Amino acid sequence: QKEVEQDPGPLSVPEGAIVSLNCTYSNSAFQYFMWYRQYSRKGPELLMYTYSSGNKEDGRFTAQVDKSSKYISLFIRDSQPSDSATYLCAMSETSYDKVIFGPGTSLSVIP
Amino acid sequence: ETGVTQSPTHLIKTRGQQVTLRCSSQSGHNTVSWYQQALGQGPQFIFQYYREEENGRGNFPPRFSGLQFPNYSSELNVNALELDDSALYLCASSLGRGQEKLFFGSGTQLSVL
């Protein structure tokens, strides 16, 4: 079993839809949870990070962490064609530890 | 504010050769981490440099080595290249050793033939 798993997609949604992206993980020691967006031929760009469990909202993006289920989610409201990218979840045990990335989910938002 | 820059953008090498990749960190950042991203996979941690010292290493053999310079720029060196080393190599900088906010460059695409 891989440490961090994501459905690779591709996920295709119409413009304006609510998108739900998810990751599961096996290491209960993870405490820092991040979401990165990666456009084609570019490096990942940090969208959000959360510490421990709970929700965090930033504009159209909401991150949720459920440590009891070892499950994290990223919700995108009012999705736009510019949101078309690969979304990577990432996590670490402490702030100083190496970051473990999921394989990414490819998202296409159709106009 | 200058972002993370990497060079070269693309590189083609032959199996057995050696390669050096370069990274300039974002202005004010003193920590650089290197990642390998195979096609269709997430980035894998190679190692981190903080104040010119290696400060953590992933599951990569010793033929992957690095340096960090006083201006916080960094190099990744790979010796005895193998076909499986073909990947996108990403450099990320951060302020301090904390890894929760990484700023990535656009990467170097390495092809080993």
The answer to whether B102 contacts chain A (CB < 8 Å) is yes
Query: Measuring CA to CA, which residue among B6, B3, B25 is closest to residue B109?
Result: B6
**Integer Cα distance of B102 and A35 in angstroms:** 11
Which pLDDT score is estimated for B1?
55
Ranges of chain B whose pLDDT falls below 70: 1-2
Which pLDDT score is estimated for A70?
95
Closest residue of chain A to B47, computed from CA coordinates: A98
SS3 A97: coil
User: What's the pLDDT tens digit per position in A35-68?
Assistant: 999 999 899 999 999 998 889 999 999 999 999 9
Query: Residue A25 — pLDDT band, cuts 50, 70, 90?
Result: very high
Q: Which of A99, A101, A105 to probe by mutation at the B interface, max B CB count within 10 Å?
A: A99
Provide the percentage of residues in chain A whose pLDDT is more than 90: 86
Paired residues of A83 in beta bridges: none
- Residue A110 near residue A97 (C-beta atoms within 8 A): no
B97 and A96 within 8 Å at the Cβ level: the answer is yes
User: What's the pLDDT tens digit per position in B34-55?
Assistant: 999 999 999 999 999 998 999 8
Q: Tell me, what DSSP letter sits at residue B83? A: G
SS3 B85: helix
Neighbour-count burial for B21-47, b at 16+ CB within 10 Å, e otherwise: bbbbbbeebbbbbbbbbeeebbbbbbb
